[in-house]
Amino acid sequence: MRPRKVTLEESIAQLARETGASESFVEKVRALFLGRGIDLEDSAEPYTHALLDAFRRHASLRQQFDEARASLVRLHTNLTELGDAFQGQLGRLRALRDSLERRNAEARREAASDERNSLRLVPGDHDRSIVPGPKDIQ
């Protein structure tokens, strides 16, 4: 007794279950055969290797896309945390700049006040003019 032939439709359905292929991919595979005039009730034997390869590649690509998507989510999270850290540092730097500007303004006011209160030298009776030159009378 000969074993019952497995149809393309059955093979496609089985591979879709085994690999978790999306319905859209399964429909594209079916459309590929139908577009070439191959009935889905025909034997899957001549196409078994190609179908298995296609479904495995699709599963591999799906896994890689899922990993890439997860990496993007982690990257976005890390960038958000980095942005928050930079904002915190920026806030600290601005507070430090403001504090330094206040101190500099106070120091300038104190210097101006000290300058006004300091003794100024004015020419007076006790000043001596010294001009370097020869010892001869000029």
Contact (CB, 8 A) for 64 and 27: no
Range in 48-62, 90-104, 124-138 the model is least confident about: 124-138
Task: Report the chain's mean pLDDT, rounded to a whole number.
Answer: 88
Instruction: Calculate what percentage of the chain has a pLDDT beyond 70.
Output: 82
> What is the spatial distance between Cα 129 and Cα 79, in angstroms, rounded to a whole number?
72
Structure tokens at 22: 């999306």
Give the 3-state DSSP-derived string for 31-93, with helices as H, strands as E and coil as C: HHHHHCCCCCCCECHHHHHHHHHHHHHHHHHHHHHHHHHHHHHHHHHHHHHHHHHHHHHHHHH
Please give the distance of CA 111 from its chain centroid, rounded to a whole number: 49
Structural domain boundaries in the chain: 8-113
Per-residue pLDDT averaged across 67-87, rounded?
97
> What is the spatial distance between Cα 6 and Cα 29, in angstroms, rounded to a whole number?
16
Checking if the pLDDT of 84 tops 60, the result is yes
Collapsing DSSP to helix, strand or coil, 127 comes out as coil
Give the confidence band of 97 by pLDDT, cuts at 50, 70, 90.
very high
pTM for this model (two decimals): 0.59
Range in 3-17, 58-72, 73-87, 111-125 the model is least confident about: 111-125
Per-residue pLDDT averaged across 36-63, rounded?
94
pLDDT value of position 138: 57
Structure tokens at 51: 């179908």
Q: What are phi and psi of 43, to 5 degrees?
A: -65, 140
Give the confidence band of 23 by pLDDT, cuts at 50, 70, 90.
very high
Checking if the pLDDT of 124 tops 60, the result is yes
103: left (phi over 0), alpha (psi -120 to 50) or beta: alpha
